[in-house]
Amino acid sequence: MSGGDPAGRLVRPFTLTGGRTRPSRADFTLITTVTAVDPQPETLTRPQPEHTRILRQCAEPVAVAELAARLDLPVSVVVILLCDLLEAGRITVRPPCPVTRTTPDLNLLQKVRDGLGRL
Amino acid sequence: MALAGSDAPDTVKILIAGGFGVGKTTMVGSVSEIVPLRTEEPLTTAGLDVDDLDGIEQKRSTTVALDFGRITIADDLVLYLFGTPGQQRFWFMWNDLALGALGAVVLVDVRRPRSSFAAIDFFERRDIPFVVAANGFHGEHPYPVEDIREALALPEAVPVLLCDARERASCRDVLIALIDLLIAEAAPVGR
Ligand SMILES: Nc1nc2c(ncn2[C@@H]2O[C@H](COP(=O)(O)OP(=O)(O)O)[C@@H](O)[C@H]2O)c(=O)[nH]1
Ligand SMILES: [Mg+2]
């Protein structure tokens, strides 16, 4: 996957984030779902090409991990770019189902079980 | 403003763990509705101290691969399966992966059960519910469940199953066993 230059591949993705290696907010997990706002807000600044690429991929709701795989970018890079898009009001975010050991969601578990049973 | 797109599904995840080559990716692929997807994460952003990179061949291991699959449970609910990176040195990633997971499947190759000890320890220590599934390579199960339980020093509360990671129905049954465990723990009766 890394081709002949793994070190190069390591550096490359973060040039897309302007060198940033940490997200500016904590909204995004691997299975957080993101959706492009339609229509897109009218702003003076046009989105960067990599932002546009993401927006195209999330016209329909898509999970962050899936988005990263489709774009062939590390999740850590995609999350930084998603922070920009969220702050610009260009995407909506749906967090995953909260899972806690102390207050388990029986309805959710039963629904998962039923779904698996249909496989 | 940035509230959920109303048509976005709810999402949950289950981890598929175990040592290198036990069949994690095979299992994800067997039940996933999509060909397993993969991302490569650079190690430098994952909170590793430089010291932790000692002994790792830097040129070869600057990324860690994560593969995952998807099962649409209902119109509004999607289950993701994440294969955890096998090597113990990637445990820092497991913490992130485990956060918010329903539970885990620990795959075991009974010919070399040691390779899955670390995964069992990880979930036990963090009190994350898990089932153990012995992947029968060549479809063979030379050891009964009781022997596997003993070899792995697993308490009765942890379900142990025999499976074939290449078979969809077999993998589905393992996942159902995990959900049944979660339901049994959640139900007020039978406590
Ligand atoms: N014969 C046989 N081969 C298997 C089985 N499960 C996995 N394999 C093979 O074992 C190798 C390792 O499996 P993989 O899923 O990549 O292991 P992972 O490292 O845990 O992801 C692959 O070549 C698989 O095709 C099985 O049940 N029977
Ligand atoms: Mg694998």
Q: What percent of chain B has pLDDT over 70?
A: 83
Angle, alpha carbons A68-B67-B131 (nearest 5°): 135
Cβ of B45 within 8 Å of Cβ of A115? The answer is no
Q: Is the shortest distance between the CB of B141 and ligand 1 below 6 Å?
A: no
pLDDT tens, B139-154? 789 899 999 999 999 9
- Return the CATH number at B26: 3.40.50.300
Residue B34 confidence (pLDDT) above 90: yes
Residue B93 clears pLDDT 50, i.e. is over it? yes
Using CA atoms in the order B67, B73, B78, B84, what is the torsion angle rounded to 10 degrees? -30
B164 lines ligand 1 (CB under 6 A): yes
Distance CA B149, CA B130 (A): 13
Provide the pLDDT confidence category of residue B117 given band limits of 50, 70 and 90: very high
Answer whether A33 sits within 8 Å of B60, measured CB to CB: no
Please indicate whether residue B122 or residue B91 has the higher confidence score (pLDDT).
Answer: B122
Instruction: Residue B176: list chain A partners with CB under 8 A.
Output: 113, 116-117
Residues of B within 8 A of A2 (CB-CB) are 40, 62-63
More confident residue, B61 or B131: B131
Q: How many CB pairs lie under 8 A apart between chains A and B? A: 167
Evaluate: CB of B138 within 6 angstroms of ligand 1.
Answer: yes
Domain count, chain B: 1
Closest-CA residue to B116 (of B124, B128, B106): B106
Question: What span, in angstroms and rounded, lies between the C-alpha atoms of A74 and A12?
Answer: 11
**B127 phi, psi to nearest 5 deg:** 60, 40
Answer yes or no: are the C-beta atoms of A84 and A29 closer than 8 Å: no
Q: What is the CA radius of gyration of chain A?
A: 17
Q: What is the ipTM, given to two decimal places? A: 0.87
- B11 and A22 within 8 Å at the Cβ level: the answer is no
What strand order describes the sheet that includes B10-17?
B37-42, B63-74, B77-83, B10-17, B103-108, B130-135, B160-163
Contact between A20 and A80 (Cβ < 8 Å): yes
Arithmetic mean of pLDDT, B13-19 = 96
What token pair was written down for B3? 């509230």
Q: Given CB atoms, is A74 within the 8 Å cutoff of chain B?
A: yes
Q: pLDDT by residue for chain A (119 residues), tens digit each? A: 334 444 444 456 777 888 888 888 888 999 999 999 999 998 888 888 999 999 999 999 999 999 999 999 999 999 999 999 999 999 999 999 999 877 889 999 999 999 999 99
Q: How far is B3 from chain A (nearest CA, A)?
A: 6
pTM of the model as a whole: 0.89
Residue closest by Cα to atom 14 of ligand 1: B23
d(CA B136, CA B97): 26
Task: Report the DSSP beta bridge partners of residue B135.
Answer: B163
Query: Would residue B3 count as lying in a domain?
Result: no
B117 CA: distance to closest CA in chain A (Å): 23
Nearest-neighbour CA in chain A from B166: distance (Å): 15
Chain B CB contacts of A75 under 8 Å are 39, 41, 66
Cβ distance A78 to A71 under 8 Å? yes
Q: What is the pLDDT of residues B162-190, one digit of tens each?
A: 999 999 999 999 999 999 999 999 886 65
Q: Would residue B5 count as lying in a domain?
A: no
Q: Is residue B2 part of a domain?
A: no
Among chain A residues, the shortest Cα distance to B5 is held by A92
Atom of ligand 1 nearest to the CA of B138: 1
B30, pLDDT greater than 90? yes
Does any ligand 1 atom lie closer than 6 A to the CB of residue B85? no
Structural domain boundaries enclosing B66: 10-186
Establish if B75 touches chain A: CB-CB under 8 angstroms.
no
